[in-house]
């Protein structure tokens, strides 16, 4: 079972995304119900897919973003996952250091979700490989 991050979802949804072919190959390699989504990946996808600063003229309207999300999640390989029991414990532990990064809260939440949910994190972000407890699939690496 897998937890794709927001960038993987964006790559799947936008044909022009630089990693679209890699993301599609990953999705084609899994079976029905093997990819989990959560409220954070849902929200992040909707927020970024409709952001003109990222996608320019290709940015979706809010209703188009919902439609795109619905098409993506209509694929039988995706299921929506509820927050696993114990997630907050891991999330707090993984954010215990006083270092700051703009992505730390979301990245560590997804890491904690993957750990407590028994899922493998799917991402293009090689930084997830440094999190010893997180089983990750780093797309685009050999």
- CATH number for the domain spanning 13: value is 3.40.50.1010
Cα gap 35→135, rounded to integer Å: 14
Q: What's the domain count of the chain?
A: 1
Domain that holds residue 74: 2-138
Compute the average pLDDT of residues 14-34: 97
What mean pLDDT value characterizes the chain?
Answer: 95
- For the entire predicted model, the pTM comes to 0.94
pLDDT for 132 equals: 87
pLDDT for 103 equals: 86
Compute the average pLDDT of residues 87-95: 94
Per-residue DSSP letter, 137: E
Q: Is the pLDDT of residue 49 over 90?
A: yes
Q: Which uninterrupted H or E stretch holds 63?
A: helix 62-73
pLDDT for 96 equals: 85
Cα gap 57→78, rounded to integer Å: 28
Given CA atoms 96, 48, 129, 113 in this order, what sign does their dihedral have? positive
């Amino acid at each position: 079972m897998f937890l794709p991050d927001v960038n993987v979802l964006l790559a799947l949804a936008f044909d022009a995304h630089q990693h679209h072919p890699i993301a599609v190959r990953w999705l084609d390699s899994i079976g029905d119900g093997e990819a989990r989504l959560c409220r954070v990946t849902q929200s992040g996808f909707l927020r970024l897919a409709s952001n003109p600063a990222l996608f320019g003229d290709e940015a979706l309207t809010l209703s188009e973003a919902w439609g795109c999300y619905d098409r993506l999640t209509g694929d039988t390989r995706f299921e929506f996952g509820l927050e696993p029991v114990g997630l907050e414990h891991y999330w707090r532990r993984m954010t215990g250091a006083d270092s700051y990064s703009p992505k730390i809260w979301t990245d560590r939440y997804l890491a904690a979700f993957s750990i407590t949910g028994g899922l493998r994190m799917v991402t293009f972000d090689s930084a997830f490989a440094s999190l010893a407890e997180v089983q990750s699939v780093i797309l685009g690496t050999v």
